[in-house]
Homo-oligomer: A and B are copies of this chain.
């Protein structure tokens, strides 16, 4: 069966390798779906009664989008700790400080091992902007509990992180509705 002919490799068709271990997963690229796919894992893992947490490095603390609402409804923590940072932000130092503070929390959460899945949403940005050293992140990932999955999302994933990760997916834009004058739709994109 060539990969061209194969349907999506699902659990039905996966044969062979036998190692069970926590994965480091990176969803990167300029397309949609990086955070959304992480939300899908959050939801799926919760469906299996696994313990999940999502820390959001960019979204504003006051964010109340579909993902925060949905997570609240099922009792999963989605903690947004950013200041809605973009390069238009007036105070990048504050953005950097917020990211570093959340990373300190993240390290503790990872090391504590109480969660089966830890999602660090839009965490590539603080690394990309060198607010947080990639080497420190990889060190924390190396020290984490063996069965713990960590998912990191965002554009510009640092190369060292891509090298260290187990599963890296690049989401690319083939076609985007903003360019056709259609705005972001609630429930779909946020």
Contacts and interface: CB of A to CB of B under 8 A. Distances in A.
A149 interface: yes
Nearest to A116: B187
A173 B165 CA distance: 12
A171 B171 contact: yes
Nearest to A34: B8
Interface string A73-101: 11000000000111110000000000000
A32 B185 CA distance: 24
Contacts of A38: 40
Contacts of A19: 181-183
Copies of this chain held together in the complex? 2
Interface string A1-38: 10101111111111011111111011111111111111
B188 A10 contact: no
A45 B86 contact: no
Nearest to A18: B183
A44 B36 contact: yes
Given A35-B8, A44-B187, A17 B182 contact: yes
B174 A13 contact: no
B175 A172 contact: no
Contacts of A36: 37, 40-41, 44
A174 B161 CA distance: 12
A155 to B, nearest CB: 7
Nearest to A12: B84
A173 B1 CA distance: 19
Contacts of A177: 23, 166-167
A173 to B, nearest CB: 7
A185 to B, nearest CB: 6
Contacts of A180: 17, 166
